Amino acid sequence: MNTILSSKIEHLKAPMDHVKSLAFNRSISSVEETKAALYIQNELYKENINSQMEYFSFTGAKRYFMRLTYIIAFFYLILNRLLLILCAYFSLKYLFQRTRNYSLVGKENSKNVIAKIKARKKNQNRAVVILSAHYDSFSSNLPYGLQKIFFFLFKIILFPYVFFAMLIPYIFIFREKSVETFQLIIIFTLVEFVITIVIFLLIYDNNKSKGSIDNASGVSILIELLKLFKKNPLENYDVIFLWSGAEEWGLKGSKRFCKRHRSYLSKKYDLDRSFNINIDMVGTYIGLENKNSTLFKSQKGIFNLNKILEEAAIELNVPLIKYKKILGPKTDHLSFRSFAKKTKSSFQVACFHSSKDSKFIHSSKDTPDKCSSQNLNGCLDICYTTIRSIDLMNFYSEEIR
């Protein structure tokens, strides 16, 4: 009896222990990000669970910024008819192999950690559950609300300017506009450039946030769910666990996973009975996005994922706050919604996200004490009960057939 009680206590403590262990900066391409990925793998290794890392690279904000700088520099040279300098630059750039491959700012690198628990039955038409959570973090000097405003301004500034800079040489040189117009262009360009620099200086700070709510909480829940399914696999569903990287930089990890594995998943599994549960932020409460879990109309006999999650919460007596916003959270669940659309399936997607906790994230306030052990275990239990229930439904349907 004491052994069983001790095991149960350890199970309840485990998610919070993971959150505390991951309470450090995990920004992209950093040593700490790799440390977090290795922590996940090590936790799985302790349970004799195999996992793999899938590496990928992408163009980050710094690279975009440098490209903007190049565009501005070339723009000035063209306006001043200093074409010989441009010719000299490109000649030197592509004359030697080393200079041809040289870049002031390289691409960002990240990786996904992936593990899989196979179903007991090896039916050809079995389905798959994909559980996802991102492990990277982001830190800023500004509150989350202001960050969104500044990122919006950055997009307004950057993309129109790139188009404008490409169009200017034709309009204002070959058509020989006035000196006043030329000066206006110079002022406009400088203002654009200064605002962009200010945005970067105000927003980025890689040292403040511990990334506990966002998203050590989701990482910890997935680790413990995998251990449970390792001990007791499902009958009809394979379970794929995805800890994605670079979520904070445009959902890069989950997008790469969906793109890389779309063909394989489509051929191997019945996607109309498959689903994704994305866990991104379980902090002071458990929040569930209450949008349709599938982009397509439910087919006859197919379950409603969100409804079963809600029923599981009621059955377990776990408080669950549902919410529905026009502009929902930008998390990895969007990559899987896109996956459902591209595969033209009824693949369902659910997202746990405590949106009211956004006031803490990306700052020094996002610490382990903001995560409730009760909420972490509550979310874990809801997911486990829901997946078991859906697997049981499919078990009975297979028996009837």
Give every strand in the sheet of 237-244, ordered side by side: 51-58, 108-117, 237-244, 127-134, 275-279, 348-352, 287-289, 321-323
Nearest C-alpha neighbor of 239 from the set 257, 252, 225: 225
Q: Does the pLDDT at position 395 exceed 80?
A: no
Hey, is 281 helix, strand or coil? Answer: coil
Domain boundary among 155, 184, 203: 203
Distances (CA, A) of 1 to 7, 228, 256: 10, 20, 47
Q: Does the pLDDT at position 121 exceed 50?
A: yes
What sections of 29-120 are H helices per DSSP?
Answer: 31-46, 61-79, 83-95, 97-100
Residues 45 and 93 grouped into a single domain? no
Residues 32 and 175 grouped into a single domain? no
Residues 341-364 have pLDDT tens digits of 999 999 999 999 999 999 999 888
299 falls in which pLDDT band (50, 70, 90)? very low
Q: What is the mean pLDDT of residues 321-342?
A: 90
pLDDT of residue 298: 45
Domain boundary among 158, 174, 203: 203
Q: Does the pLDDT at position 171 exceed 70?
A: no
pLDDT of residue 236: 92
Residues 183 and 271 grouped into a single domain? no
Verify cis geometry, omega within 30 degrees of 0, for the bond prior to 215: yes
Calpha distance 318→376 (Å, rounded): 11
pLDDT of residue 60: 66
Residues 221 and 318 grouped into a single domain? yes
Residue bearing the bigger pLDDT, 85 or 381: 381
Residues 168 and 283 grouped into a single domain? no
**High-pLDDT (> 90) share of the chain, %:** 53
Q: Does the pLDDT at position 137 exceed 60?
A: yes
Residues 160 and 269 grouped into a single domain? no
Residues 291 and 264 grouped into a single domain? yes
> Cα 328 vs. chain centroid, distance in angstroms?
14
Residue bearing the bigger pLDDT, 216 or 30: 216
**Residue 311 lies in domain:** 2-58+108-139+208-400
319 falls in which pLDDT band (50, 70, 90)? very high
Residues 181-191 have pLDDT tens digits of 555 556 666 66
Nearest C-alpha neighbor of 274 from the set 226, 236, 219: 236
- Radius of gyration in angstroms for the set of CA atoms belonging to the chain, rounded to a whole number: 25
Each as own residue / partner, the long-range contacts of residues 5-14 (CB below 8 Å, 24 or more positions apart, any chain) are: 11/224, 12/373, 12/377, 13/373, 14/220, 14/223, 14/224
2 falls in which pLDDT band (50, 70, 90)? very low
Residues 130 and 186 grouped into a single domain? no
Residues 37 and 51 grouped into a single domain? yes
Residue bearing the bigger pLDDT, 4 or 348: 348
Q: Does the pLDDT at position 291 exceed 70?
A: yes
C-beta separation of 173 from 78 below 8 A? yes
6 falls in which pLDDT band (50, 70, 90)? very low
Residues 56-94 have pLDDT tens digits of 998 766 666 666 667 666 766 666 666 676 677 667 767
The CATH number of residue 379's host domain is: 3.40.630.10
pLDDT of residue 177: 52
Hey, is 55 helix, strand or coil? Answer: strand
Q: What is the mean pLDDT of residues 240-247?
A: 96
Residues 224 and 344 grouped into a single domain? yes
List % helix, strand, coil for the chain (3-state, nearest 5).
55, 15, 30
Residues 38 and 187 grouped into a single domain? no
Domain boundary among 203, 235, 254: 203
pLDDT of residue 328: 76
Residues 21 and 157 grouped into a single domain? no
- How many domains are contained in the chain? 2
401 falls in which pLDDT band (50, 70, 90)? very low
Calpha distance 67→69 (Å, rounded): 5
